[in-house]
Chains A and B, each alone.
Chain A
Amino acid sequence: MRAARLFAGPVMAVILLCIPTSASFGDDTAERAHKLHFSSIVLDTHDDTTQRFFSKNFDLGKRNPDGHVDIPRMREGGLNAIFFSIWIDGRTMGPPAIQKALDQIDAVHENVRKNSKEMMFARTAADVRKAHAEGKIAALIGVEGGHMIGNDIRMVRIFSDLGVRYMTLSHFYNDEWADSSTDKPAHNGLTDYGREIVREMNRQGMMVDISHVSDKTFYDALEVSKAPLIASHSSCRAICNHPRDMSDDMIKALAAKGGVIQINYEKSFIDEAYRQASEKVSGGVVAMFDQLKKQCGDDEECFGKKMNEMEKQATAEGKLPHVTWEKIVEHIDHVVKLAGADHVGLGSDFDGATMPEGMDDCSKLPKITEALMRKGYSDDDIRKILGGNLLRVMEQAERVSHEMQAQN
């Protein structure tokens, strides 16, 4: 979300040149990839498009000249299941955080209602499959940051009833019961209350999302959770050493318990040179976020614009290196080699991050399928990465929920 969107934009598009296009190979890979992609459930676990629902200039049902996600472009990119992220700044807490989260949840439901010919709200893996069978896009909800429950465990149940299917335990700042990866540790991971919250999430069938949390919080959650965890939008530290990414050990531990890492496309999370350069330019994700927050307050449009400007300028001045979309594939491949194809998926951070060149919006997703095919991935494995793995985790979370509720 947002904060991560160090620099967005058009700049990258220019660099497409270096991408090998399938046509040049004279084989049928492109065609097979296209077929595979458009017959698969392609599920993205993290999209900040929700923020745009509050702008008068945005219409989900129409093609928009900016941003990364709308229905026409989802259709074009074969993206047929999407988690709309509920997000507010982690320093808004208590009842105001709750009300804002409720507002955003409502906005998702309203947008689905408005676009009901194209979209269907989904609460379960079965719902996602049903939407796919009916040719509709499945809309799901994830809450990005435990601060939005206002330190009240009852809100987990309430959010779940309202259709929330995962919650990221923290955002950039610690919340009352969990440490963030980008804040100074205050709780040594999860507090006792934080553990209770994880159990309640299990009970509700809400997936536990460990993107954004500190390593210790991750390991604590992994120990407590009865269902597999997800990282809804994180990449690999072995390639790009950002605290928002996961170490190989973490990825292995996550996978050992059936979890999935959903690769984030944000440039400063996938490219080490870019990360280092952007830290020099902006002081890093959180510092940059703070700076923009000061300038723009809650004005999301100002936020995006300023971010774009800053990146444009820094790139023009040669302060930031180019990052291309193949870097995403590199992260996927890294996880597959480490933990197998059952434990990786897509968590773009569209509309909340700076996209690499060639992944300008969700219409470009078929390139990932083709690249994986060219790497020799089986159709089966590709389907898992595109969405099958996440649906498996959802089903497991649902099963755990049924079991826990039956026990009561």
Chain B
Amino acid sequence: MDKELRRIAVVLAGGCLMAMSVAADSVSERAKKLTHAAIVVDTHDDTTQRLLDPKFDLGQRHADGSIDIPRMKEGGLDGIFFSIWMSGKITGPEAVKRATAQIDAVHEQVKKHPNELVLATTAEEVRAAKKHGKTAALIGVEGGHMINSDLGVLRIYASRGVRYMTLTHSVNVEWADSSTDKATHNGLTDFGKDVVREMNKLGVIVDISHVSDKTFYDALALSKAPMFASHSSCRAICDAPRNMTDQMIKDLAAKGGVIQINYHVGFLSQEFRDAEKKDPSINAGISEEVKKRCPDENDEACQLIEGDKITREYVAAGKLPKVDYTKIIEHIDHAVKLVGAEHVGLGSDFDGANMPYGMEDATMIPKITEALLQKGYSESDIREILGENTLRVMTEVERVSRELNAKK
């Protein structure tokens, strides 16, 4: 979730129009087939916030938001990381309690939909889910603040199925700097390094989305397993601190990692970002409107979904530029040219950010396949980008964990 950004981004996204070009991007049979044959994994979805509403049914098709079981099936999305998230300002035991409850909410959904969903904690389980025609539900914790500086809590999360943790969210934690806060630790503290070591031991992927560049390099130097950026895009195209520089992408890849492209318009499009920056009243206005529509300030799901809607209203009104989904392809292609197809994947930020036009929800995923085919990508490269790269990182992380535990 990129709420902070959302304010900004939301704004930007809306502009162009819904008018966009669904017709123009019709999907070929070949792309459809390939998408459905491949294992498609998305490493970042904020749908968990919606699961906290007892009335929300993941099994039904919804008119709003981006994710539910019918739409995942339609779009060929086989594995989804449900993000455990709360503002980085919620800390201490309260954060632990809330995170524990969110993890439980994901487990409950899996129990409620045993024919459609299965909890997966390994690459092998994701493959098995695909074989059985089920969607693999995985769990990632978006922000180190949720362990309250306690490795015991981290281990409890891992035992509850958490398979990645983003070291920070939008503000620094006690032991790591965020990319969108003032540096106070010069990257990772000694305890932060212990956290990374423990994650390696537990087989929890080190996620460096959201962290400061220095934190990234500290983690990269330390981690014995490849890392990923669960939802970050390329700074060369859109100069947001949440995105990765070319050098960072290269260094990540050199150690076997993957950048999972975030679809958030404020991270995809420089034009959108500039428009947001130029007129701060836009974001302020969107925030105001969100507050009006979501009177319960704890209802994050409402804020996220309404934020996206309102942004689109701004786009429609011409106050923000319209960003098209092909921008996602541009980021993928940029990273592929830089480091090869083995190091790029999908980290949509669905239900937590402002989606570009033409990528409103999970049903649109085959369009990515289509666009990559049209660019001349091989089917095997496309399979890697759609999910195999993520599975490779998972497998590696599992192997490192086994080795570290065997050593003792």
> Which residues of A are interface residues toward B (Cβ below 8 A)?
94-96, 98-99, 102-103, 105-107, 109-110, 150, 152, 154-155, 157-158, 161-162
CA distance A402 to B103 in the complex (A): 23
Kindly provide the distance from the CB of A127 to the nearest chain B CB, expressed in whole angstroms: 16
Query: Are B101 and A99 in contact (CB-based, < 8 A)?
Result: no
Query: Are B104 and A99 in contact (CB-based, < 8 A)?
Result: no
Whether B107 sits at the interface, judged by CB under 8 Å, is: yes
CA distance A94 to B94 in the complex (A): 8
Query: Are B93 and A98 in contact (CB-based, < 8 A)?
Result: yes
Residues of B within 8 A of A99 (CB): 93, 96-97, 148, 150, 153
Query: Are B150 and A152 in contact (CB-based, < 8 A)?
Result: no
Kindly provide the distance from the CB of A155 to the nearest chain B CB, expressed in whole angstroms: 8
Residues of A within 8 A of B94 (CB): 95
Whether B254 sits at the interface, judged by CB under 8 Å, is: no
Q: A154-B104, A157-B104, A161-B160 are in contact. Are A95 and B152 (CB under 8 A)?
A: no
Q: List 23 A-B contacts (CB under 8 A).
A: A95-B92, A95-B93, A95-B94, A95-B96, A96-B92, A98-B97, A98-B100, A99-B93, A99-B148, A99-B150, A99-B153, A102-B152, A102-B153, A106-B153, A106-B155, A110-B152, A110-B155, A154-B104, A158-B101, A158-B103, A161-B104, A161-B160, A162-B160
List the A residue with the shortest CB-CB distance to B101.
A154
List the B residue with the shortest CB-CB distance to A104.
B152
Kindly provide the distance from the CB of B268 to the nearest chain A CB, expressed in whole angstroms: 37
Whether B159 sits at the interface, judged by CB under 8 Å, is: yes
Kindly provide the distance from the CB of A158 to the nearest chain B CB, expressed in whole angstroms: 5
Chain A proximity mask over B89-115: 1 for CB below 8 Å, otherwise 0:
000111011001101100100000000
Residues of A within 8 A of B37 (CB): none
Kindly provide the distance from the CB of B181 to the nearest chain A CB, expressed in whole angstroms: 24
Whether B284 sits at the interface, judged by CB under 8 Å, is: no
Report which of A98, A110, A152, A154 forms a contact with B96, defined as CB distance below 8 A.
A98
Report which of B100, B103, B155 forms a contact with A109, defined as CB distance below 8 A.
B155
Whether B156 sits at the interface, judged by CB under 8 Å, is: yes
Q: A95-B92, A158-B104 are in contact. Are A103 and B152 (CB under 8 A)?
A: yes
CA distance A379 to B156 in the complex (A): 41
CA distance A109 to B158 in the complex (A): 12
CA distance A105 to B93 in the complex (A): 15
CA distance A102 to B152 in the complex (A): 8
Query: Are B101 and A94 in contact (CB-based, < 8 A)?
Result: no
List the B residue with the shortest CB-CB distance to A163.
B159
CA distance A408 to B92 in the complex (A): 35
Residues of A within 8 A of B101 (CB): 152, 154, 158
Kindly provide the distance from the CB of B286 to the nearest chain A CB, expressed in whole angstroms: 32
Chain A proximity mask over B144-174: 1 for CB below 8 Å, otherwise 0:
0000101011011001100000000000000
Residues of B within 8 A of A150 (CB): 97
CA distance A202 to B104 in the complex (A): 18
CA distance A202 to B231 in the complex (A): 41
B66-96 contacts to A (CB < 8 Å): 92-94, 96
CA distance A148 to B101 in the complex (A): 14
Report which of A96, A154, A162 forms a contact with B156, defined as CB distance below 8 A.
A162
Kindly provide the distance from the CB of A103 to the nearest chain B CB, expressed in whole angstroms: 4
> Which residues of B are interface residues toward A (Cβ below 8 A)?
92-94, 96-97, 100-101, 103-104, 107, 148, 150, 152-153, 155-156, 159-160
List the B residue with the shortest CB-CB distance to A102.
B156
Residues of B within 8 A of A102 (CB): 96, 100, 152-153, 156
List the B residue with the shortest CB-CB distance to A94.
B93
Residues of A within 8 A of B97 (CB): 94-95, 98-99, 150, 152
Query: Are B100 and A161 in contact (CB-based, < 8 A)?
Result: no
CA distance A161 to B110 in the complex (A): 14
Residues of B within 8 A of A162 (CB): 156, 159-160
Residues of A within 8 A of B92 (CB): 95-96
List the A residue with the shortest CB-CB distance to B153.
A102
Kindly provide the distance from the CB of A95 to the nearest chain B CB, expressed in whole angstroms: 4
List the A residue with the shortest CB-CB distance to B97.
A95
CA distance A105 to B150 in the complex (A): 13
Report which of A96, A152, A155, A157 forms a contact with B93, defined as CB distance below 8 A.
A96
CA distance A107 to B156 in the complex (A): 10
Kindly provide the distance from the CB of B74 to the nearest chain A CB, expressed in whole angstroms: 28
Residues of B within 8 A of A154 (CB): 101, 104
Q: A157-B104, A162-B159 are in contact. Are A103 and B153 (CB under 8 A)?
A: yes
Query: Are B150 and A103 in contact (CB-based, < 8 A)?
Result: yes
- Residue with the greatest number of chain B CB neighbours at <10 A, chosen from A110, A150, A155, A158: A158
Residues of A within 8 A of B96 (CB): 95, 98-99, 102
7 smallest A-B Cβ distances: which pairs?
A: A95-B93, A106-B152, A95-B97, A99-B93, A103-B152, A96-B93, A99-B96
Kindly provide the distance from the CB of B57 to the nearest chain A CB, expressed in whole angstroms: 16
Residues of B within 8 A of A96 (CB): 92-93
CA distance A105 to B100 in the complex (A): 14
Residues of A within 8 A of B103 (CB): 158
Q: A95-B94, A95-B96 are in contact. Are A107 and B104 (CB under 8 A)?
A: no
Residues of A within 8 A of B148 (CB): 99
List the B residue with the shortest CB-CB distance to A54.
B152
List the B residue with the shortest CB-CB distance to A98.
B97
Kindly provide the distance from the CB of A259 to the nearest chain B CB, expressed in whole angstroms: 29
Residues of A within 8 A of B153 (CB): 99, 102-103, 106
- Residue with the greatest number of chain B CB neighbours at <10 A, chosen from A102, A150, A155: A102
Query: Are B156 and A106 in contact (CB-based, < 8 A)?
Result: yes
Kindly provide the distance from the CB of A148 to the nearest chain B CB, expressed in whole angstroms: 11
CA distance A109 to B160 in the complex (A): 13
CA distance A189 to B150 in the complex (A): 36
CA distance A110 to B156 in the complex (A): 10
Residues of B within 8 A of A103 (CB): 150, 152-153
Residues of A within 8 A of B156 (CB): 102, 105-106, 162
CA distance A90 to B93 in the complex (A): 17
Kindly provide the distance from the CB of B52 to the nearest chain A CB, expressed in whole angstroms: 11
Residues of A within 8 A of B152 (CB): 102-103, 106-107, 110
CA distance A98 to B153 in the complex (A): 11
CA distance A184 to B84 in the complex (A): 40
- Residue with the greatest number of chain B CB neighbours at <10 A, chosen from A95, A109, A150: A95
- Residue with the greatest number of chain B CB neighbours at <10 A, chosen from A96, A99, A161, A162: A99
Kindly provide the distance from the CB of B278 to the nearest chain A CB, expressed in whole angstroms: 42
Residues of B within 8 A of A94 (CB): 93, 97
Residues of B within 8 A of A95 (CB): 92-94, 96-97
List the A residue with the shortest CB-CB distance to B160.
A161
List the A residue with the shortest CB-CB distance to B148.
A99
Kindly provide the distance from the CB of B112 to the nearest chain A CB, expressed in whole angstroms: 10
CA distance A150 to B96 in the complex (A): 12
Residues of A within 8 A of B150 (CB): 99, 103
Residues of A within 8 A of B100 (CB): 98, 102, 155, 158
List the B residue with the shortest CB-CB distance to A159.
B100
Q: Beyond A95-B92, A99-B96: 14 further Cβ-contacts under 8 Å? A: A98-B97, A99-B150, A102-B100, A102-B153, A103-B152, A106-B159, A109-B155, A150-B97, A154-B101, A157-B104, A158-B101, A158-B103, A162-B156, A162-B159
Kindly provide the distance from the CB of B298 to the nearest chain A CB, expressed in whole angstroms: 15
CA distance A137 to B326 in the complex (A): 60
Kindly provide the distance from the CB of A59 to the nearest chain B CB, expressed in whole angstroms: 15
CA distance A109 to B103 in the complex (A): 19
